[in-house]
Amino acid sequence: MVANAAGEVRPYRVLSLDGGGVRGLYSALLLQGLAKRFAANQRLPNAESFDLGAQFDLIVGTSTGAILATALAAGVPLKRVIDLYRQKAKDIFTDPAGTGRKAALWAMKNAGHAANSPKPLEKALHDVLQDETVGEMYARRGIGLCVPAVNVETSKSWVFKTPHDKKGNRLNRDNNYRLVDVCLASTAAPMVLPIHGIASPADKDGAFNWFADGGLWANNPSLVALTEALSMSDGEQPIELMSVSTCPPFQGRSITPRQADRGALGWKIGVGIVEVALDAQSYAYDYVTKTVAQFTGRKVAYVRLKDPDVPVNDVAHLSLDNPSKKCLDLLSRLANHAIDLNVSLATAGSPPPQPLIAQFFQNIKAFPAQQSEGAMNG
């Protein structure tokens, strides 16, 4: 157990990242902006990108959050992740689901296959993560990673994990999976992207495991994060958990009586149901995690970063598969609002103050300029 100069036990710090498709841009911009603001407040050297992943013992992310979590754990600068969303979103989501007649045409066009090919996403991920495996990344960085997915053949949850169990030697199942495949498994949203098959590293006959989006059961993985932290941290070690959303638009959605009587078209041929389920999970699991944290018998500090309200007229643009400039610009504006909200929450004068937010960014280290611009290993 590690203690500081004052004899205080170092907390076990955890970051939890929601799913939400292209809305992952919001999460990345929010974290990058907070890192810059708190670094400036501490008079740390100005930098384009900071090694936020190194601030945490464990990072957990689902779906688009899996991409961000894996990048942070692997030491990929947030600037590169932000560029991935801005530059590659249109290549990844080439055929967004529409509403009404557009939804019907979309369904007919994609009746026998997923709407988008996984190849552009796989290439974008490979450009950043290369062929590094789960085990290799942990050996290099020492940062725990958990990524929820669904094993489609068994209809059971599956959490990809690094071998971060310091109490034993039981987390070795996923060591030989490529980080790229882990991300593709957790982002395989039904109808939007194909189920992702990965050759089982333990099967010499080349059997495949088939995975779908982890958001089907843990779109907000904060409870997964808390459970893992309770299992892996020392019994006397305090836990600090920060949860980040993709700014789900449930704050501003309005429905008319006519819209209430929905059929397949009104639900975007099923994609709309998936979107509502993902956003509802994000809200519910925040409450559940907050409640569980109070009754664990351990010292657990939990904070979920504050999101701005989404204007009603903008809700329609925040579909998980909308790569339009209007959507990306809206996500950037919302992230800027969220940065101000959370900086205010972290200081006195904001009821109630949340100094815990600032602690996650304390003495954060900057990436060298060449690593911010180049590949994962500089």
The residues annotated with a catalytic role in the active site are: 63, 213
Q: Name 240's bridge partners.
A: 13, 301
Phi-psi region of 113 (alpha: psi -120 to 50; beta: other; left: phi over 0): beta
- Contact residues for 329 (Cβ-Cβ < 8 A; gap 6+): none
Amino acid identity, residue 115? Answer: A
Residues 146, 62 contacting (CB under 8 angstroms): no
Residues 133, 70 contacting (CB under 8 angstroms): no
- In sequence order, which ranges of the chain are alpha helices (DSSP H)? 24-41, 64-74, 78-92, 101-109, 119-129, 134-141, 179-186, 215-218, 222-232, 257-260, 271-294, 325-345, 355-359, 369-373
Rg (CA), the chain: 20
